[in-house]
Amino acid sequence: MFHSLSAVRNTISYGTLSDQELSGLIQVDDEAAFNEIYKRYWERLYVVARHRTDDTYEAEEIVQDIFCNLWRKRNEFVLTKGFLNYFSVAVKFEVINRLAKRNRENRLKKEVSVFSSLADESTVDQLNYNELQSQLALTIKVLPEKCMLVFKLKHEEGYSQKQIAEELNIAEKTVEAHLAKARKTIRIKFSYLSAMAKSLLFL
């Protein structure tokens, strides 16, 4: 017979609770449950983040951001496969986001420099290049989480579809579906600037 979460909270130490039970408790603002999750998984997340970034400070920052995000969305949070799986994906996603942001900033500086050297001031103003980049970034940001992750791995990190499938442990057909959805969303959003969008995103 299953105990209610409130009964579990009163009678069992947090260290003995399952991920699902802890997940249920943080939904009702139980800070002790959150602290147990933090204690249980912080070091493992840090090791993964440190390995992927090769930077102690950034790894700590990534892990801290992940836990802060979990607490912020705790009331709507639904755990499906356990915290180890959830955090593994979260670390990958956060690292890719940070790398993509740096790559995007560097690429933008280079592209704007080249573009400005080839176009007169009125042309640059007309196309509003920076605004286009900003709108593209916003469009990508509102894609479903897995769809956005697949898109960034493909177009910002240069992964092949096979590499993406292996990295995320999904089928290549699923990768294709995510990419198709992302491209369709971007084309609809920027139909009036499709030629420029294709040039920037290599579609």
Q: Residue 116: what pLDDT?
A: 43
Q: Compute the distance between CA of residue 138 and CA of residue 127 in angstroms, rounded to an integer.
A: 18
> Tell me: the pLDDT tens digits for 41-63?
999 888 888 888 888 888 888 89
What pLDDT, in 10s, does the model give residues 72-109?
988 988 888 888 888 888 888 888 877 777 666 555 55
Mean pLDDT over each residue of the chain, to the nearest integer:
75
Structural domains in the chain, sorted by start: 1-118 (1.10.1740.10), 121-203 (1.10.10.10)
**What distance in Å separates the CA atoms of residue 73 and residue 70, rounded to the nearest whole number?**
5
In DSSP notation, 3-41 reads PPHHHHHHHS-GGG--HHHHHHHHTTT-HHHHHHHHHHH
**Contact indicator for 23, 10 with CB cutoff of 8 Å:** no
> Residue 35's pLDDT is what?
92
CA distance 143 to 1: 41
Given this model, what pLDDT does residue 11 score? 63
Residue type, 136: L
Q: Residue range 170-197: average pLDDT?
A: 74
What pLDDT shows up at residue 132?
63
Tokens 């139980």, residue located: 30
Nearest-5° Cα angle at 27, 168 to 80 = 30
Q: Sorting pLDDT into bands at 50, 70 and 90, what band is 37?
A: very high
| pLDDT above 90 coverage of the chain, percent | 9
Rounded-to-integer distance, Cα 101 and Cα 6, Å: 43
- The alpha carbons of the chain give a radius of gyration, in whole angstroms, of 21
